[in-house]
Amino acid sequence: MSEEEFTGDGGGEIIVGQDLSLLSIEELERRIILLEREIGRIKMDISAKQISKEAAESIFRS
Protein backbone atom coordinates (compact mmCIF):
# COMPACT_ATOMS: atom_id res chain seq x y z
CA MET A 1 0.00 0.00 0.00
CA SER A 2 1.35 3.40 -0.89
CA GLU A 3 1.79 5.97 1.83
CA GLU A 4 -1.06 8.44 1.72
CA GLU A 5 -1.53 11.37 4.04
CA PHE A 6 -4.65 13.09 5.23
CA THR A 7 -5.47 15.52 7.97
CA GLY A 8 -8.53 15.05 10.14
CA ASP A 9 -10.57 17.86 11.63
CA GLY A 10 -8.24 17.96 14.64
CA GLY A 11 -5.24 18.67 12.45
CA GLY A 12 -3.62 15.29 13.11
CA GLU A 13 -1.76 13.78 10.21
CA ILE A 14 -2.20 10.13 9.32
CA ILE A 15 0.13 8.33 6.99
CA VAL A 16 -1.27 5.05 5.70
CA GLY A 17 1.31 2.31 6.17
CA GLN A 18 3.23 4.27 8.82
CA ASP A 19 5.17 2.28 11.42
CA LEU A 20 2.86 2.22 14.44
CA SER A 21 5.39 0.84 16.89
CA LEU A 22 6.61 4.29 17.90
CA LEU A 23 3.14 5.70 18.61
CA SER A 24 1.68 5.83 22.11
CA ILE A 25 -1.65 4.28 23.04
CA GLU A 26 -3.20 7.76 23.04
CA GLU A 27 -1.85 8.48 19.57
CA LEU A 28 -3.17 5.15 18.29
CA GLU A 29 -6.59 5.83 19.79
CA ARG A 30 -6.60 9.28 18.18
CA ARG A 31 -5.78 7.69 14.82
CA ILE A 32 -8.74 5.35 15.21
CA ILE A 33 -11.05 8.29 15.94
CA LEU A 34 -9.77 10.22 12.91
CA LEU A 35 -10.05 7.20 10.63
CA GLU A 36 -13.58 6.37 11.83
CA ARG A 37 -14.57 10.00 11.19
CA GLU A 38 -13.10 9.84 7.71
CA ILE A 39 -14.89 6.55 6.99
CA GLY A 40 -18.18 8.15 8.06
CA ARG A 41 -17.54 11.15 5.85
CA ILE A 42 -16.79 8.91 2.87
CA LYS A 43 -19.92 6.80 3.46
CA MET A 44 -22.07 9.94 3.55
CA ASP A 45 -20.54 11.10 0.27
CA ILE A 46 -21.17 7.70 -1.32
CA SER A 47 -24.82 7.84 -0.20
CA ALA A 48 -25.27 11.31 -1.63
CA LYS A 49 -23.73 10.26 -4.94
CA GLN A 50 -25.92 7.15 -5.10
CA ILE A 51 -29.03 9.29 -4.59
CA SER A 52 -27.91 11.65 -7.38
CA LYS A 53 -27.12 8.75 -9.67
CA GLU A 54 -30.49 7.10 -9.04
CA ALA A 55 -32.30 10.40 -9.68
CA ALA A 56 -30.44 10.87 -12.96
CA GLU A 57 -31.12 7.28 -14.02
CA SER A 58 -34.83 7.67 -13.27
CA ILE A 59 -35.00 10.64 -15.65
CA PHE A 60 -33.56 8.58 -18.49
CA ARG A 61 -35.88 5.63 -17.75
CA SER A 62 -38.97 7.79 -18.13
* pLDDT computed for residue 37 by the predictor: 95
The answer to whether 3 touches 15, Cβ cutoff 8 Å, is: yes
pTM for the whole structure: 0.69
* pLDDT computed for residue 12 by the predictor: 61
* pLDDT computed for residue 3 by the predictor: 47
Domains: count for the chain: 1
Model pLDDT for residues 9-53, shown as the tens digit of each residue? 555 678 889 999 999 999 999 999 999 999 999 999 999 999 999
CA angle 40/42/14 to nearest 5° reads 80
The more confidently predicted of residues 4 and 59 is: 59
Bridge partners of residue 6, in order along the sequence: 14
Does the pLDDT at position 2 exceed 50? no
What's the domain range around 31?
5-61
